[in-house]
Structure 1
């Protein structure tokens, strides 16, 4: 497990395939504010709720200059099913080898149902136009997280 990122750190660059197998590179989004959130598994109840909350807030986030990227260890085919089933309108990226998850400190030991396990740590980062971490949130809740993030960013 890697160390966690803090505000002001350089955001680790990455290039990952989206649900259609097309590469999406964080470096291509320099000059923009980007919300990158990491979630454990497509089409599970909590991850669906979180993705739908981002989807439902996307117009408002975009109006304030934010793009959204969701990252999980799922393969592109599963992400495509998730996108279609739930009408997700932002890129869902595939990180099956968990290199990007690890670089962001979003993969490692966590407590689930009172037991220590190794897995995806639900996390959200806001990357500023210069590629620096502006917000780093770990162990976020799936439900209500987007509303809290909007408040934290002063968008509500």
Structure 2
């Protein structure tokens, strides 16, 4: 998915098994953020930063939905432990990760493995991707500020 593309209508199911659709967010900007794994230090910092700035994001017209490949049970625990006010899509079949092009080969300490590239898509009120914050740009401790900052032209 690239800037200017229309995001898919069906996004997935959340931690409660509820279907999440793009049309649920009509009239709002949707922050669809993909992260590697529940309860890891970077992912927790990112989720908590979004939580701590949630009211500000809402007041600016943003809705937030997180996505990772863990199951609903893992997401529920992550939400409860960190008191997250937004849904997390359980993309266990990696369909949404692959649709958005954020799943692929990664390497850490010389070991190669498949995983999610931390990426945030800002989708406008009409369902069009207007901004992408890529893996090398995301600052997990200040992610809300990055989202709220006017985009550099």
Using the alignment, how far apart are the partners of 1:9 and 1:112 within structure 2? 31
**Length, aligned pairs only:** 150
The answer to whether the aligner puts 1:145 opposite 2:146 as a matched pair is no
- The residue number in structure 1 matching 2:65 is 69
Distance 1:41 1:103, change over 3 A: same
Equivalent of 1:80 in 73, 76, 81: 76
Structure 2 SS opposite 1:143: helix
Query: What displacement does 1:152 show?
Result: 3.6
Using the alignment, how far apart are the partners of 2:35 and 2:61 within structure 1? 23
With normalisation by structure 2, the TM-score equals: 0.89
Using the alignment, how far apart are the partners of 1:50 and 1:76 within structure 2? 19
Alpha carbons 1:36, 1:127 under 8 Å: kept:
yes
Query: What displacement does 1:147 show?
Result: 2.1
Using the alignment, how far apart are the partners of 1:112 and 1:23 within structure 2? 34
With normalisation by structure 1, the TM-score equals: 0.87
Using the alignment, how far apart are the partners of 2:65 and 2:101 within structure 1? 17
Gaps in structure 1 of 5+ consecutive residues = none
Provide the alpha-carbon RMSD of the alignment.
1.8
Gaps in structure 2 of 5+ consecutive residues = none
Alpha carbons 2:50, 2:143 under 8 Å: kept:
no
| Structure 1 stretch displaced more, 70-79 or 8-17 | 8-17
Post-superposition Cα deviations, 1:111-151, rounded to whole Å, max 9, x if no partner, equal 43455432100000110011100111221342333322222
Distance 1:141 1:102, change over 3 A: farther
Equivalent of 2:91 in 92, 95, 103: 95
- The residue number in structure 2 matching 1:44 is 40
Map residues 100-111 of structure 1 onto 2, 5 A cutoff.
100-111=96-107
Distance 1:75 1:63, change over 3 A: same
Distance 1:56 1:153, change over 3 A: farther
Equivalent of 1:26 in 16, 22, 25: 22
